Structure 1
Amino acid sequence: MLPFWHLGLAFSIPSGIYGVWASTLDVTVNQFGISQTEAGWLGFWGSTAGTLLGIIFSRFADIFAKRMKLFLICIYISATVFYVVFTLSCNQSIPGNKALIYFTCISGGAVVSGALPLFYEMACERAYPAAEGVISGCITLFLNLTGSLVLLLSFIPNIGTTWMNWALVSAMACAVLLMTTFNEQYWRRDVDIPDKTNQQTPPP
């Protein structure tokens, strides 16, 4: 049960905070002359690209069996890099322009959204033989709870929005750490496709 909670945190922290951050993106990028409508399109293209990447990531996960943990670590390392560059640009620590903001926003959103199918798949693998619908519902609940907690912080007077950028960077880095320490097992795959050289016995 503990590995499932471990994976639930690794999923909900970056995804939940990203969802809240995206809802305030227009305020963050306004300094670069990007309107609310343009900010909405940034989110749209990030989600659309994430859908395509999700299909690609899932295909690679099928081809390179039992490597989802490695894929997720690489995905969140790249997301961390994208959002560090974005945050430093917003803070004017490095030169920033509209093109750089477009690139980092869309790329970061694409990889975060593209990782979602792998998380759902890994959660169902790790919690087998629990029902897939129950597992998917639980980790979706974790995501929504995380987002709700972050939204509550916005009620603090004069808190602003700058902290959201650093919270997003921290969430991606946290996901890398959590996935690095996660003990991946593939109970369901071993039942569907027996591997006589490395069979594992699923928990009762």
Structure 2
Amino acid sequence: MRKNPTLIQDDAMWVGLTAVLVQGVVGLLVGRMTDLVYGYIKVSLLAFMITSLCCFYWFYLLTMGSITVTKWQIFCSVVIGLGFNFANAPLFIEFAVESAYPCPEVYVGGLLTGTMNFIGLIFLFIFLIPDLGYKWVTYVLLSSSSLSLIPLLIVREEYSRSNIDRSVGTDLPTIPGASEKGTLHQLSIQ
């Protein structure tokens, strides 16, 4: 991107800022959407990952010179790709929590968050290696996006935890005289 005289640092700043803002908005929208449409986390993950992978491949073609580089193509490929890639993080955690049930959510979420932060730390430390360049970033984007599809296709989708959460308060027996305190589940929590 630096060799193209039409792209300046100010343009790169706006691409980065827009990508961060879009990541936040898309993350919230995707989270809300999956709450409304129950039982389709794996399908949602696959759709968002494939969309992100297509955008990263588009960016790869731009960096290799296969496609004529324009500002709007760089802007769209980076912003859309990162937006959908970032939206996958909470879905992956939700999917892992569902798959690892009855392991507590805090352990699964903590392990995944710590692992993602550690991988991000390694990624950022690679930039400190002198004379390495930046072309490898495009390869990492493509490989990490495509390789993460394979385990997702193999894993079976189960909603044991969510099914239990959704059944609370329905068809549960009540204790006589407990009507002023609530349901059996509420009594067991107290």
Q: Could you say which TM-score interval applies, normalised by the shorter chain?
A: 0.7 to 0.9
Q: Deviations over 1:122-151 (max 9, x none)?
A: 222222333333322211111122223334
Equivalent residue, structure 2, for 1:51: 24
Task: Name 2:2's counterpart in structure 1.
Answer: 30
Q: Which runs of 5+ in 2 are unaligned?
A: 168-190
Correspondence for 2:131 among 137, 154, 158: 158
Matched, 1:131 2:104: yes
Q: Any unmatched runs of 5+ in structure 1?
A: 1-28, 195-204
- Compute the displacement of 1:77 (Å): 0.6
1:157: how far off?
Answer: 4.9
2:63 aligned with 1:90, yes or no?
Answer: yes
Give the counterpart of 1:120 among 93, 97, 101: 93
Larger helix fraction of residues:
1
Asked if 1:60 is matched to 2:33, the reply is yes
Instruction: Report how many residues are paired.
Output: 167
User: Could you tell me which residue of structure 1 aligns to residue 116 of structure 2?
Assistant: 143
* TM-score normalized with structure 2 length: 0.77
Question: Root-mean-square deviation (CA), in Å?
Answer: 2.1
Within 2, Cα distance between the matches of 1:34 and 1:88? 17
Amino acid at match of 2:89: L
In structure 2, distance between residues paired with 1:44 and 1:137: 28
The higher radius of gyration belongs to: 2
Cross-structure match for 2:140: 167
Deviations 1:3-53 (A, max 9, x none): xxxxxxxxxxxxxxxxxxxxxxxxxx3334333343233222122212222
Render the CA deviation track for 1:69-97: whole Å, top value 9, x for unaligned: 11111111111110111111111112121
Counterpart of 1:40, as a letter, is M
Verify: 1:70 aligned to 2:43, yes or no.
yes
**Which amino acid letter does the alignment assign opposite residue 192 of structure 1?**
D
Match of 2:186?
none
Q: Decide whether the 8 Å contact of 1:61 with 1:67 is kept in 2.
A: yes
> 1-side partners of 2:127 and 2:20: how far apart?
24
Say if 1:135 and 1:37 are closer, same or farther in 2 by CA, change over 3 A.
farther
- How far residue 54 of structure 1 moved from its aligned partner, in angstroms, is 1.8
Q: Secondary structure, in 3 states, of the residue corresponding to 1:30?
A: coil
**CA distance in structure 2 between the partners assigned to 1:134 and 1:37 by the alignment:** 42
